Each structure stands twice: as structure tokens, then as C-alpha cells.
Chain A
């Protein structure tokens, strides 16, 4: 508990730093950010002055920053110039799409990487090991956006097996409860919508998950290899424990400690990767919205989304710390 409290307290300076960087995004724009926002829109000088006043850009930097932090804490993340809606509302609306894609992709990555990494360590220098390591090396070199395009070209356009764009086909009348289509379709008993939403998830999740799966496979393998030769594993085996018990209780549990660190980092990276994947697959999430916001020079929205992603990542890191305590009880005493 003390350890967790310590971790929570440590996130406060990180949050302060994050807010400072997000605030800086608006201020590294060369020249006047308001002029950049209204470039090509034919806005009058008065309109630009009004916006400058709304954004507080006519005030000293420190006042601007403090005002930004105060408003951000109160949930006021400004209004999108393009969508004419509050930034926080836009993010909340699209958040389920991004989280659903990220979690689904993450699950697929885990399902592939864990058995593959464990097997390749247990069967070191066999065909399985070579296959796993070659795939992992190749997978790390493939750019997500290219894999995405190839998948759309092959699986969606040429073979017509799976949909390549969007979250669900037009025509499905899905009642929004949580915003997670898989959950909403199950809650409302709409099995056809569930199947369709699932089919839409497959390709983007696969493209997004490749770097995660490859990094995890390598990490799980090397962590397992380190643990396999530890004295306590030899002891466990020599006292006649079943092989499965040795693997699960003594090897896997200890090998997972470094793996969990990586899982936290990778989950955070998945959120970042969603920006590219959502753009390719026309996935209506926050990642795609940030690119639209950049094109329309909607900097308040860009700021809001970057802040949101950073907060999500901090939350993931905190959750990783909780998992640590669960998996490695020695940490409680630190």
C-alpha cells in the first residue's frame, strides 16, 4: 500500500510536466498560433483578436499556463474550432473506439506472443525457436502502416474476406450504451452487429499488434531463458515436482516480472500506433481525429488529444505497478 501511495505521489510531478509540454505545443508554433489556426479561412482581424483573447494568448505566459492547468483540471479542455464542440466531449465520444481497437489488438498480441515466446525458450534451438525468432525479427522491421495497406489490398479488396474500413457496416442500428461496439451489441442481443463489429476489428488489430507481438515474443523468450537456469528451478525439479508445476509456478511467474514492464510500455505504444492504424482503416477513434485536427490546424483539439494519451499512459504505468505487487510480493516491502 505504501509502495502504491508512493507511486501515486510520484505521478504528480509527471502530470505537471505533461501539462507543461502539452501547453508548449501551442507555443512552439512559429509566429502567431491564431494566425496559423485561421490560415486560409478568411477570418477578420477582430475574429482573430477575439480568439486570442479566448485562448488567453494576450496574457503573460505564466498566467496562460496556470489558466490552462486550472481549466484542464476542471475538465474544460477548450472548444474545437473545426467541430465547434468541447474538446473533452469529442474525446469521450471517440475514446471507446480507440480503446476497443487497442485492447483487442493487445489481446491478439498476447495470445500469439506468450505461447510462442515460452515455447521457443523451452524448445531452444529447435525449429519452433527459429520460426519464432525469425518472425519476431521480421515483424519488428515491418512498418504498421504498410502492413495495414497490404492487408486491405489482399484480404479486403482482392479476397473480400474481411472489411477494411470503418467500425461497422452502414445500416446496423446499434444502440449506444458503452460505446464499445462488441459490448453494446452483446448487451442488446444484436448478434449480427456483434459479428460485423468483430469482423471490422480483425485487420486493424492485426496490423496494430504486430510490433507488440514481436517485441513481447522476444522478451518472453529471453526472460524465460534467464529463469530456466536459476537454482530455485533446479531445486524445484530435483525435489520431484511435476514439470508443468515447475514451468507455471517457478519459471513463468518469475519470468513475468520483466515482461510486465514491457507490457505496460507496449500498451502505451499501442495507443500511439493507433494514430496511424486508425487513419489507414478509417477507424473513427481519437487517433484518426488527431490527424484530422492537425490538417484543420485545430490546435486545441491536438493539445487535448495529446494530453489524453499521456494521461492514459500514466494510468497504464500505475496499473503496471499494481500488477508488480501482485506478481512479485517482495516489492511490497520496498
Chain B
């Protein structure tokens, strides 16, 4: 007993002298959670597939061959063709290739929306929390107004008004997502602005913008990262919903939501058209949510309620 305590002592002292970096702590917490690891693995796979879709896809996702239309997936009927393992759609396009390319749109829209809404929402939230008073009141009333709209409906309405296209989808989704960042960042900044280092910086005359950018926002980054991961799943589902409803990205670009919409029309004769894109969305969102939950536990357990 005494021996074991003695043998542990030096490493504990070492820990005190050289505490592990924040990144190491996060990684070790994530590694301890099997679900977070699974989430990270799914997310990494999704990233790789989206980036290397053109290398991985066996065919051009827009290539049509009406002779090959509605081929079932492998093992699901005599007409199944091993060259098309997930089957083909109503225009004879390879489902696997379309799924792989569809991941790109989900990733681009997801990341762009998170970046745009994250920057705008965090800045508004930081200014509101830092200055309080009128700015805070204004920002919070704006948030109240925004929260009065069901987010998907708002995205649909703005998406429809702005017109189809990748940029407009990102804009419409960002218009509904920024409030989440605004609320979280504002709440955090309200407490950070009272900390000694902020008061010290103010007392030696450092400019407010500098304090917000250099001292306040870096301390909110952990929460922003957690919110971003958890929001990414929501954004991907919303993007798919917009494409499914026909108010998203139109044309020949394969999107998971668009594939589902096509599949819906053929659900009586070809179940695979709607099944695979839905499965892809579900798996990716599940992975992102698991990773987000793990990150939240590692970085900021107080966010568990958001």
C-alpha cells in the first residue's frame, strides 16, 4: 500500500508541475468515451468520403443510362448488377456514386453555415454580453423575435424567397442558426467580463474590440466548438429537408435530400432509392451528435442542457 502510494507520488508531482495541455485533456476524455470515438470515426469517414468523392465514386453521378434504370441493390433480385452494388435510380444513375457525391453538398453546406452563423452569432452575442444594457436588450429582443419562427419554416421561406442555389441555402440556414450561437456566447461573456484578467485589461486602457477578440472570445471557443458540432447535424438535416422539398439546390447536382425526393416517387417499385440516402443522413448525423456529446462532456459539461 505504502509502496504503491510512493510509486505514484512522483508522477502526481510531475502532473502538478507540468499539467497536461487542454488539447491533451480533451483528447484523453474523448478516447475514454466509446460513443464519442465512434462518432469521431463516422465523422472522419464522412469527411474523407466528401473530399475524395471523385476518386471513390465508380461512375459520374449524373451519367444516365435508361437501359439500366431501377436496378436493385446487390443480392436483392435477379436483375441486380454487381457493377452497381447499391442499384440505380429512375434515370439509370448509379446510387453509390450519387451518395458519395451527395456527401460533398452536405459537408459544404454544413461547414459554411456553421462558419457564417457561428461568426455572426458569436460576435452579436459577445457584444451583447460585453456591453450589456441597450446592446444586450436589443440583441435579446432580436433573438426573441427570431425564436418565434419555427426554424425550418423560416429557412424554407427565406430559401424560397432567395431562390435555389448553394449560396442561398447556406444563407437561409445561417439566418436560422445564428441565434443559437448568440445565446450561448452572450451567456458565457456575461460571466467572463467580470473576470480579473478582463477587468485588468480594461483598467490599463486596452481597447474593447481588442479585449473581446483577444481575451473574451478565446475563452468561449470551447463552447462555440461544442455548439458547432451539435448544430452541424441539425444543419445537415435541414439542408436535406430543403432539397427534399425542392427549395434547395436544384439541377443535376446530387444531394441526399434531392435523392430522397426522387426516391419518394418510386417507393412502390424501388425501395432502395429512398432508403440509402436516408440511411446516409442518419448515420452521419448520428456520428456528429455522438462526437458533439463527447466534446461537450470533455469541454463544457454545463452545456448539457442546450
Query: What is the interface of chain A, defined by CB distance below 8 A to chain B?
Result: 10, 13-14, 17-18, 20-21, 25-26, 28-30, 137-138, 140-146, 149-150, 152-153, 157, 219, 222, 258, 268-269, 271-273, 275-276, 279-280, 290-291, 294-295, 299, 302, 305-306, 309-310, 313-314, 317
Q: Is the CB of B260 within 8 A of A149?
A: yes
Could you give, for residues 212-256 of chain B, a 1 whenever the CB lies within 8 Å of some chain A CB and a 0 otherwise? 000000000000000000000100010011001111000000000
Please give, as numbers and ranges, the residues of chain B lying within 8 Å of A222 by CB-CB distance: 304-305
- Additional A-B contact list (20), CB under 8 Å, known A222-B305, A271-B153: A14-B145, A17-B148, A21-B145, A25-B157, A28-B158, A138-B282, A141-B233, A141-B286, A144-B241, A146-B260, A146-B281, A149-B264, A149-B267, A149-B274, A258-B305, A271-B150, A276-B244, A280-B264, A290-B156, A309-B150
- Assuming A141-B233, A141-B285, is B149 touching A309 (CB within 8 A)? yes
Cα separation A219 to B278 with both chains bound (whole Å): 26
| Chain B proximity of A67: nearest CB distance (Å) | 20
Known contacts A28-B162, A143-B281, A149-B274; is A17 also within 8 Å of B141 by CB? yes
Chain B CB within 10 A, most for which of A137, A299, A305: A137
How far apart are A204's CB and chain B's nearest CB, in angstroms? 14
The digit string for B266-306, where 1 denotes a CB below 8 A from any CB of A, is 01100100110110011101100110010000000000110
CB nearest to A164 among chain B residues: B267
22 A–B pairs (Cβ distance < 8 Å), ordered by A: A18-B149, A28-B158, A29-B162, A144-B241, A145-B240, A145-B241, A146-B274, A146-B277, A146-B281, A149-B260, A149-B267, A150-B275, A157-B268, A271-B150, A272-B151, A273-B152, A276-B245, A279-B245, A295-B246, A299-B161, A306-B157, A313-B149
B85 interface residue per 8 A CB criterion: no
- Provide the bound-state CA to CA distance between A25 and B290, in Å: 36
A198 to B224, CA, bound (A): 44
Q: Which of A21, A28, A143, A258 gathers the greatest number of chain B CB atoms within 10 Å?
A: A143
Chain B nearest CB from A136 CB (Å) reads 10
A146 to chain B, nearest CB (A): 3
The closest CB in chain B to the CB of A287 belongs to B153
Interface size in chain B (residues, C-beta < 8 A): 50
Q: What 9 A-B pairs have minimum CB-CB distances, sorted nearest first?
A: A272-B150, A17-B145, A146-B278, A141-B286, A294-B160, A141-B285, A272-B152, A310-B148, A272-B153
Number of residue pairs spanning A and B whose beta carbons lie under 8 angstroms apart: 143
Residue of B153, B237, B274 most packed against chain A (CB within 10 A) = B153
Any chain A CB within 8 A of the CB of B154? yes
Q: Determine whether B129 belongs to the interface, using a CB cutoff of 8 Å to chain A.
A: no
Given A146-B260, A146-B274, A310-B148, verify A275-B153 contact (CB < 8 Å).
yes
A residues near B275, Cβ cutoff 8 Å:
150
Interface residues of B in 134-191 (CB under 8 A from A): 141-142, 144-154, 156-158, 160-163
Q: In the bound complex, do residue B289 and residue A291 qualify as a contact, i.e. CB atoms below 8 Å apart?
A: no
Give complex CA distance A143, B238 in Å: 9
**Bound complex: CA A144 to CA B152 (Å):** 12
The answer to whether A143 and B240 have CB atoms under 8 Å apart is yes
Please name the residue on chain B nearest to A276 by beta carbon: B241
Min CB distance B102 to A, Å, is 13
Q: Is B263 an interface residue (CB 8 A)?
A: yes
